Amino acid sequence: MAVMDTSLPKIDQFLATLDSAVADGSFVRLALRLPFGADETLKSVDVKPATIRGELKLSFTFHHQTRDLVQNHPPAGAIGQLKRLMEKDFRQAFLFTTAFDLQFDSQGKSPRLKHTEPTSKASASLEHDRAKARPIPAAGKAWLTELGVTGADGTVLKAAGDKFRQINRYVEILGPLLKAIPEDRLRRVVDMGSGKGYLTFAVADYLASKCMLSTEVVGVEFREDLVKFCNETAEATGVSNLSFSQGTIESFDSTGADVLIALHACDTATDDAIAKGIAAGSELIVVAPCCHKQIRREIETSNRGTELDFLMKHGIFVERQAEMVTDAMRAMILEHFGYSTKVFEFISDVHTPKNVLIVGTKTKRGKDASQLRKLADAKAFFGIRRHYLEDVVGL
Ligand SMILES: C[S@@+](CC[C@H](N)C(=O)[O-])C[C@H]1O[C@@H](n2cnc3c(N)ncnc32)[C@H](O)[C@@H]1O
């Protein structure tokens, strides 16, 4: 242990000890507790060492009431950040090293330091576990940089954090479903309403680099500028199993689409996407819907003055009702066409409020007429004349 300069204020002695522990590799972790700062949502902070792209960083996890935020700092910057947190936000700090533990406590009149035996004699693992766990890592992916998700150094840009998590979560769920499909029936994946191509690139990359498959991935998008940008980006970054087709989902020939995916295709565009998957007999249809305007309009207009009027009074309930009814009916129609369905939240609503995923897996060849009877009952109950998906699948 480095000799402490006891003439320094206690906070500086604590931070100097941390600095030495980081430098000699004995630093295990640090915890900030007993919050008193202006941000009442900030409950605690944990800090651990991590090697990120070959460089030692201190990885901070800020535990807020409803979410965790992670920041990685070089050691020098981290010490300054910790000093501010200890002065303004937390009364206690615990430093754990392989040689000793050190506690800083500013609850009394003057701050105190206390040395104790080490809780852990084992060094911290320097592997950056978050990066390791993701199907699409941030580093080393030129396409992520071109799409504005990561900077040139491979770190996720602040404004793109939610998108990065969304596509990773989507691929995390999609991965095992794709692997369950025999290779000869996994020749083509189509992403409907591909936009700037975040998900399309992610799936193409995952299939090529994690599954070692040459499956072709196609993005369908009506905005010409986005299609041009995505095709140029795929070429420039060497994602060779990927292309983008300009046009509407409705007019796209989906023959041979073994897997149909969509992420936030607006309103009935999600229905058009599902219909294209059903028409192609896709093995797998996975959609995260966006807004639910068509059914919302139907529910709103036909329930004024009925026993459901009390719900229609509040926009938020109409919105939620429309979402549930639209997606539950989509699932029924998929079941009718021989798909086993699961509907669930694929990511926390902190990252996107549009967080429901409908997964349809083709399990039967025939049709299940009982689903249409249930659909008719549900439509009658909610006063819905037609679900747009009925029209596009020819029911
Ligand atoms: C909300 S964005 C989502 C983009 C992308 N899937 C993502 O999550 O990043 C929806 C995209 O679908 C496209 N789109 C909507 N309806 C479409 C249709 N009927 N045919 C083709 N593209 C459509 C829009 O132009 C837009 O780029």
Q: From ligand 1's centre to the CA of 221, what distance in Å? A: 6
The upper half-sphere exposure of residue 317, i.e. CA atoms within 13 Å in the direction of its Cβ, equals 8
Substitution site in 229, 249, 267, 347 for ligand 1 pocket (most atoms within 8 Å of beta carbon)? 249
Substitution site in 170, 190, 222 for ligand 1 pocket (most atoms within 8 Å of beta carbon)? 222
The Cα–Cα gap between 328 and 337 comes to: 15
Q: What is residue 54's three-state secondary structure?
A: coil
Backbone angles phi, psi at 72, to 5 degrees: -115, 130
Is residue 378 within 8 Å of residue 328, measured between CB atoms? yes
Backbone angles phi, psi at 174, to 5 degrees: -65, -35
In this predicted structure, what is the pLDDT of residue 129? 46
Instruction: Name the pTM for this structure.
Output: 0.70
Q: Concatenated DSSP letters for 86-112?
A: HHHTEEEEEEEESS-EEEEE-SSSS-E
In this predicted structure, what is the pLDDT of residue 102? 96
The Cα–Cα gap between 366 and 106 comes to: 71
Q: From ligand 1's centre to the CA of 193, what distance in Å? A: 3
**How far does the chain reach from its first CA to its final CA, in angstroms?**
76
List 103's β-bridge partners, or say none.
Answer: 94, 114
Substitution site in 144, 199, 221 for ligand 1 pocket (most atoms within 8 Å of beta carbon)? 221
Q: From ligand 1's centre to the CA of 68, what distance in Å? A: 30
Q: From ligand 1's centre to the CA of 132, what distance in Å? A: 30
Per-run averaged pLDDT (10 residues), the chain, 395 residues: 78 93 90 94 92 84 84 91 96 94 93 91 62 78 96 89 90 92 94 97 94 94 98 95 97 97 94 98 96 91 87 89 96 98 84 86 94 96 94 95
Is residue 215 within 8 Å of residue 207, measured between CB atoms? yes
**In which residue are the tokens 């009074």 written?**
313
Kindly list the distances between the CA atom of residue 125 and the CA atoms of 27, 30, 96, 137, 339, in Å, as whole numbers in the listed order.
10, 14, 14, 19, 44
Beta carbons within 8 Å of 284's beta carbon, 6+ residues apart: 177, 178, 181, 258, 259, 260, 359, 360, 361, 362
Domains and CATH numbers, the chain: 10-131 (no CATH), 134-392 (3.40.50.150)
Residue having the nearest C-alpha atom to atom 27 of ligand 1: 195
Is residue 208 within 8 Å of residue 279, measured between CB atoms? no
Tokens describing residue 252: 């796209």
In this predicted structure, what is the pLDDT of residue 127? 55
Beta carbons within 8 Å of 331's beta carbon, 6+ residues apart: 341, 343, 358, 360
In this predicted structure, what is the pLDDT of residue 125? 66
